[in-house]
Structure 1
């Protein structure tokens, strides 16, 4: 029963936070302004992430057990949202954002001892254990996932849809493993994201004929989502109470990871900074070859759901880690080849 209460509380608090902070964001200039790279009409409040975090905070304090892990997660999340909000307002340098992410990663690693020490039986020779290198690997993993979700946020509804898909998939994996104590964590994140998605896509206006202000997630939100994803993945795949295998984690956040890896390599080959913003993400390419933003959203979201289903099914039937890893690498090669084909068609 408390699971339902937690989810309802998160949804209601997120909705209230959006309505409250909307005029505040406009008043203090926490808005996204149109530019050559950001093609939208008007100044859009960047309060999606703040509303989601506050909803998760309220629901967690009211309903979830008070544990060290939860307290450290909420502290780390508050820091992540604060840094992201500063970035939304003042456009921080990449170096400052990365330093902030490293500090936050340290809270997770040393605050609760949560780090990636076991990658599973990836090569059919037994579990790959990382030992002390696991801490370095975890730092890299946290920074990669945070920035993968940050980079994918480029069209209406995309970060919201992908994050809900990821959180829901993690909840299903917890249910499959019998770890019912953990289900509330991804569910509260998913339900807290729903109001943002409805405002972002204008669904309240379409459903209830209400003239509501569109909002964006902002870096505060996308980095908070990435932090939450990697926290849940570490919690779900490591330790004696692990609920699913590390290789499964690749599948349930496949699209953000593939998009980031592909674009970082492409930027590096072109002599650009991996963190320099551009319009060469998957959603931008789909739009340039003729898809509307709505169709691009549907295509990417559908692909993300399919990959998550493959990961969940693979976990359910205990398909060998090696097979799951090879399939993921094959899918990434297909992804890169498709992007190259689309870019080639775009230039002809």
Structure 2
């Protein structure tokens, strides 16, 4: 009953936030305009992320225990959404965004004194403990995951579907470990994302013949989602009450990570900035190969679910972490090879 109440609260507040901020975003110019890289029609309000954050904030304050960890997460999230909204409005320089992300990472690391210090038995020779290097690793991890989810946001429904997949997977991992105290966190985030996804995919127009203006997630939302994912993964894999193994975290957010790593390497080899936007992401390549936006969304979402199921199965059956790492690396190289072949043939 408690979990149902938190999820319902998040859904309702997200829906109401969209209804309220839709005309506000148009009025203040917080919209995404078509350009060479963005091929949509009209000016689309960038309020998806703001609505999700406000819903998470409301549900957390109403239902969750007032812990230091939760307070630091909400403060860091508010800062992330603010920086993202500024970027949506004024197109901030990459350096400014990265500095903001480092400050937010510092708040999360030093605010609660938690960081990624144990990578598990990923090489088969015993636990890999990072010691003080774990702080640096955590900074890198936070920035990588935030930008991985930010970069994957390219077609209708994609960031919403992938983030819900990740949050639900984390919820399942908490259930499997018996850590139901943490279960509300990913469920709140997942249900708060559903109204955005419904608006983004035109659900109301298709099924209720009701004209509802489409919205986008915006950098405020995609970076907030990435921050929430790495926060949950750190909380779930570290400490004495860790709920699942670090290697499993790679599998449940595999597509955003693989897409980002592959494209950063490709841009670096071509002498381009890793953060310079282009149309060479996985969804762009699939569309150039002949798939429609809907088919591309279904294909990528299906692959993401399969990868998550592999990770969940590996955790449930306690497959050796070294085997899971090798499997992930094989999948990544297969992914890179497939993309390279497809790019040459289109």
TM-score of the aligned structures, taking structure 1 as reference length? 0.99
Find the counterpart in structure 2 of residue 336 from structure 1.
336
Find the counterpart in structure 2 of residue 22 from structure 1.
22
1:38-74 per-residue CA deviation (whole Å, 9 max, x = no partner) reads 0000000000000000000000000011100000000
Written as runs of structure 1 = structure 2, the 5 A alignment for 1:90-105 is 90-105=90-105
Find the counterpart in structure 1 of residue 113 from structure 2.
113
Find the counterpart in structure 1 of residue 69 from structure 2.
69
User: What displacement does 1:114 show?
Assistant: 1.7
Alignment partners' CA distance in 1, 2:321 and 2:113: 25
Find the counterpart in structure 2 of residue 157 from structure 1.
157
Find the counterpart in structure 2 of residue 170 from structure 1.
170
Find the counterpart in structure 2 of residue 46 from structure 1.
46
Alignment partners' CA distance in 1, 2:208 and 2:237: 42
Alignment partners' CA distance in 2, 1:200 and 1:79: 24
Alignment partners' CA distance in 1, 2:122 and 2:158: 31
Find the counterpart in structure 1 of residue 206 from structure 2.
206
Find the counterpart in structure 1 of residue 270 from structure 2.
270
User: What displacement does 1:209 show?
Assistant: 1.3
User: What displacement does 1:204 show?
Assistant: 1.2
TM-score of the aligned structures, taking structure 2 as reference length? 1.00
Written as runs of structure 1 = structure 2, the 5 A alignment for 1:115-264 is 115-264=115-264
Find the counterpart in structure 1 of residue 293 from structure 2.
293
The answer to whether 1:317 aligns with 2:320 is no
RMSD: 0.4
1:125-163 per-residue CA deviation (whole Å, 9 max, x = no partner) reads 110000000000000000000000000000000000000
User: What displacement does 1:262 show?
Assistant: 0.1
Counterpart secondary structure, 1:38: coil
Alignment partners' CA distance in 1, 2:110 and 2:75: 13
User: What displacement does 1:205 show?
Assistant: 1.2
Which stretches of structure 1, 4 residues or more, deviate above 6 A after TM superposition? none
Alignment partners' CA distance in 2, 1:205 and 1:256: 29
Find the counterpart in structure 2 of residue 307 from structure 1.
307
The answer to whether 1:35 aligns with 2:35 is yes
User: What displacement does 1:310 show?
Assistant: 0.2
User: What displacement does 1:124 show?
Assistant: 1.1
Counterpart secondary structure, 2:345: helix
Number of residues of Structure 1 aligned to a counterpart in Structure 2 = 346
Alignment partners' CA distance in 2, 1:46 and 1:272: 28
1:187-225 per-residue CA deviation (whole Å, 9 max, x = no partner) reads 000000000000000011112111000000000000000
1:292-344 per-residue CA deviation (whole Å, 9 max, x = no partner) reads 01100000000000000000000000000000000000000000011001101
Find the counterpart in structure 1 of residue 80 from structure 2.
80
